[in-house]
Amino acid sequence: MINENPFQLIHDVAGIGFGRADELGQKIGMGGNHPARLSAALMFTVDSECMQNGHVYLEYDETVMSTKRLLVTSDGTSIAETEISDALQSLLQNNELVQEETRIYLPSLYHAEKGVAHHLLRLQKAQAKRTLFEKADFLKALGELEERINVAYAPSQSEAIETALNSATMILTGGPGTGKTTVIKGIVELFAELNGLSLDPSAYKDGGPAFPVVLAAPTGRAAKRMSESTNLPAMTIHRLLGMTGQENKSDDVERELEGQLLIIDESSMVDIWLANQLLRSVPTNMQVIFVGDKDQLPSVGPGQFLKDILASAALPTISLTDIYRQAEGSSIIELAHHVKEGVLPADFKQNTADRSFFHCNTQQLSEVVGKVVKNAAKKRLYCQRHSSAHSTLSWSCRHYKNE
């Protein structure tokens, strides 16, 4: 392989990048504008940009220019843009890359993006066949739920629950502390109540109807939080789909979910590949609710699924803005909302129990952040070492952490 096409090592051997493969190629006469070299550089450029920077595609001109820079960096030789463009056309003809208008895709990302759009439209079309709950029935059930769990839903939360119950697909978004978890519990409880369903897992036997509510999230931690707030089973999306995380991105998972209502929390963390696999597994008669904070960082993998479906305005959406969760003496959540809205409160420079202000210029910023992180790590280590000590020492540790 090395003597025939060392650039194949980029795909076959983990840790081999274009630079190393190019060194080997130069030694056997595959340098300069050799077709294999140009093709490998183009594939490496598109792949690395998508994997490292979260892009689903690159613009055509950007693909050519980025590849040209990579080739110059590798051996100092400048390759004409026309030659790189010709090599790109060859890859497109061989279906190794996909072009739509001016966008260049890896095939797996192209099909994933198309799949997401197709399945969302498929699910949304089911809305026309839905029978909506009567307003009076909803309000009666909501009032009974509020009494039973001792919660008073705000108008925006009540609207979110009603919209979810009457929609084939829906997005529930809001920042930290806006009550998304409380709304999820309300949706689950009223879905069961208005449909005459039991939420007792033991009531569903093997061979009979499946448990009606499916709760999932991208991470185990988020799934655990869903389970604790609803007292119902929840799992990661990978486990729900029977995936191990080692699957080839171009392979489709063949599994149809069972149940009537699917709620996905922390949807901003779902990349385009996982979103496609999830949606293609959802039967048309299942309601789907995506929950997440649109201002959170996007997924580690390619795409920004939640942000894009919000921007499309194709699905019913409720945005929660009022803050309900605020730990006693804490100012972090409120400050986060101010920053998100582009407003700084008058007291943001004042130190509080849970935050400190450090005045520094741009050049000092990284150094100051580094010191803060190191000090926090030292304090945490101190607490861990003394966590099993006497209760008075534990109290001192908690106090020390907040200094």
pLDDT in the model for residue 395: 31
Provide the CATH number for the domain around residue 159. Answer: 3.40.50.300
Give a yes or no: residue 82 inside a domain. yes
Give a yes or no: residue 48 inside a domain. yes
Same domain, 191 and 74: no
pLDDT in the model for residue 63: 98
Give a yes or no: residue 204 inside a domain. yes
8 Å CB contact between 306 and 344: no
Reported for 82-86, long-range contacts at CB under 8 A and 24+ positions apart, including other chains, are 83/33, 83/38, 84/38, 84/41, 84/42
Strand order in the sheet with 103-105: 57-59, 103-105, 98-100
Residues 68 and 80: their CA atoms lie apart, in Å, by 8
Residues 170 and 369: their CA atoms lie apart, in Å, by 39
Total count of domains within the chain: 3
pLDDT in the model for residue 333: 62
**DSSP one-letter string for 66-103:** HHHHHHHHHHSPPPPHHHHHHHHHHHHHTTSSEEETTE
Same domain, 170 and 226: yes
Same domain, 31 and 179: no
Provide the CATH number for the domain around residue 38. Answer: 1.10.10.2220
Q: Given a cut of 60, is residue 389 above it in pLDDT?
A: no
Same domain, 114 and 233: yes
Give a yes or no: residue 391 inside a domain. yes
Give a yes or no: residue 395 inside a domain. yes
Q: What is the DSSP letter of 8?
A: G
Q: Given a cut of 80, is residue 343 above it in pLDDT?
A: no
| SS3 label, residue 352 | strand
Which of 267, 294, 320 corresponds to the end of one domain?
A: 320
Same domain, 205 and 238: yes
pLDDT in the model for residue 350: 77
Q: Percent of the chain beyond pLDDT 90? A: 60
pLDDT in the model for residue 253: 77
Which of 105, 137, 167 corresponds to the end of one domain?
A: 105
Give a yes or no: residue 226 inside a domain. yes
pLDDT in the model for residue 399: 37
Give a yes or no: residue 263 inside a domain. yes
> In 10 A of CB 73, how many CB atoms?
11
Give a yes or no: residue 339 inside a domain. no
What is the average pLDDT across 264-292? 96
Strand order in the sheet with 261-264: 235-236, 213-217, 261-264, 287-292, 169-174, 317-320
Q: Given a cut of 90, is residue 173 above it in pLDDT?
A: yes
> In 10 A of CB 255, how many CB atoms?
13
Same domain, 159 and 305: yes
Q: Given a cut of 90, is residue 45 above it in pLDDT?
A: yes
Comparing 47-61, 83-97, 131-145, 372-386, the range with the smallest average pLDDT is 372-386
Q: Given a cut of 50, is residue 397 above it in pLDDT?
A: no
Same domain, 129 and 225: yes
- 123 — pLDDT class (breaks 50, 70, 90): very high
Same domain, 245 and 99: no
Residue 372 sits in which domain range? 358-401
Same domain, 262 and 159: yes
Same domain, 157 and 286: yes
Measured in whole angstroms, the distance separating CA 296 from the mean position of its chain's CA atoms is 9
pLDDT tens digits, one per residue of 47-98: 999 999 999 999 999 999 999 999 998 778 889 999 999 999 999 999 999 9
Q: Given a cut of 90, is residue 114 above it in pLDDT?
A: yes
Same domain, 87 and 152: no
pLDDT in the model for residue 383: 60
Burial of 165 (0-12, 13-18, 19+ CB in 10 A): buried
Q: Given a cut of 60, is residue 371 above it in pLDDT?
A: yes
Residues 50 and 56: their CA atoms lie apart, in Å, by 6
Same domain, 283 and 177: yes
Which of 88, 105, 122 corresponds to the end of one domain?
A: 105
Cβ neighbours of residue 119 under 8 Å, at least 6 residues apart?
276, 279, 280, 282
